[in-house]
Amino acid sequence: MKILFLVALAAFAVATDFAEEDGVLVLTEDTFAPALKENNFLLVEFYAPWCGHCKRLAPEYVKAAEILLKEDPPLRIAKVDATEERDLAEKFGIKGFPTLKFFKNGKDSEYDGGRTSDAIVSWLRKKTGPPAKTLDTVEVAKTFIDNNDVAVVLFHSGVETDEYKSFMNMASVTESDVQFAVASADEKFMGEFGIAHAPALVLFKQFDEKRNDYTGDLTSEMDMSDFINSNSLPLVIPFNQNTARKIFGGPIKSHLLLFTNDNTYEQTFSSVAESFRGRMLAITVDQSDAENEKVCQFFGLEGGSPATLMIVNMEQQPLKKFRYPGDLTVEGMVAFGEEVLSGKLKPFLKSEPEPEENNEPVVTLVGTSFERIVLDAEKDVLVEFYAPWCGHCKSLAPKYEELAKIFVDIPTVVIAKMDATENEVDHPDVNIRGFPTIKFFPAGENKEVVEFDGARDVEDFVKFIKAHAKSFFDLPEDAAGVEPNDEL
Give the sign of the dihedral formed by CA 114, CA 118, CA 120, CA 122.
negative
Which is catalytic among the residues 44, 48, 54, 415? 54
Which is catalytic among the residues 26, 51, 307, 482? 51
Which is catalytic among the residues 334, 390, 408, 482? 390
- Residue 296 known to be catalytic: no
Q: Which residues are catalytic?
A: 51, 54, 390, 393
